[in-house]
Amino acid sequence: MKSSINKNPVVLITGASQGIGAAIARVFAGELPGARLALVARNEKNLRTVARDCIKLGAAVEIFPCDVSEEASVAAMAKAVTKHFGPVAVLINNAGKFFGASFLDLTLADFDAQIAANLRSVFLVSKAFVPAMIKRGRGDVFNMSSIAGRQAYPNGAAYCAAKFGVTGLSAVMRTELKDKGVRVCCIHPGATWTPSWSKSGVKAERIMPAADIARAILDVYRLSRNTVVEEIVLRPQLGDV
């Protein structure tokens, strides 16, 4: 059986400037020898900090500041990534944002912003990189949904709608790409420690560490090409917060 791992794979991570995205970058840098990381986010300063950490861990790293909800920005980023690294082997669509509001209180602007950040971004970035995977006959796409993409909850009208969309889009992508050598996995994390929890008052031990989400993705990538993990559901051991 052939190894499931490309030599020196190019791994592109969106939303890599903090939280789960930064954890994914650091875990891949430290635990996947030869990885070449393309780190994408809007915050260039934070991206540089994450990049320095990954370089210390032995990875080749370049940053690509980009608003992944904007078509022109994604097109320019994709061109720059391909020119610098060549084709992307692993695409991790992690970028997103959360704003809580009930259906009745939610404004159209806030709804559109969350759809753009969480769902439109997955569509745009995948459209930019998946065709080259199909041409090579090999690739891995990880789309970051959420527990909110499996079950609804109050004050999550826009976020749940966006994440349910990611779940559905991932299923369609998987169905269309499975005979083309491209695996698609949808990730559904529950409460995960990120900067957004820092002022919540919830104790860190009640929340999953972001590095655990990152290692789950890496472990799935390492499986043989005979296997696809369609979805991963991760929850805090003590239950959702």
**Pure H helices in 65-209:** 71-85, 108-115, 121-136, 157-177
CA distance 230 to 184: 7
- Number of Cβ within 10 Å of residue 3's Cβ equals 9
**Hey, which residues are catalytic here?**
159
CA distance 17 to 51: 9
User: Shortest CA distance to 222 belongs to which of 122, 140, 107?
Assistant: 140
CA distance 12 to 143: 12
Residues pairing with 63 in the sheet: 39
CA distance 193 to 163: 19
Q: Which residue has the tokens 């900090």?
A: 49
Structure tokens at 53: 């950490």
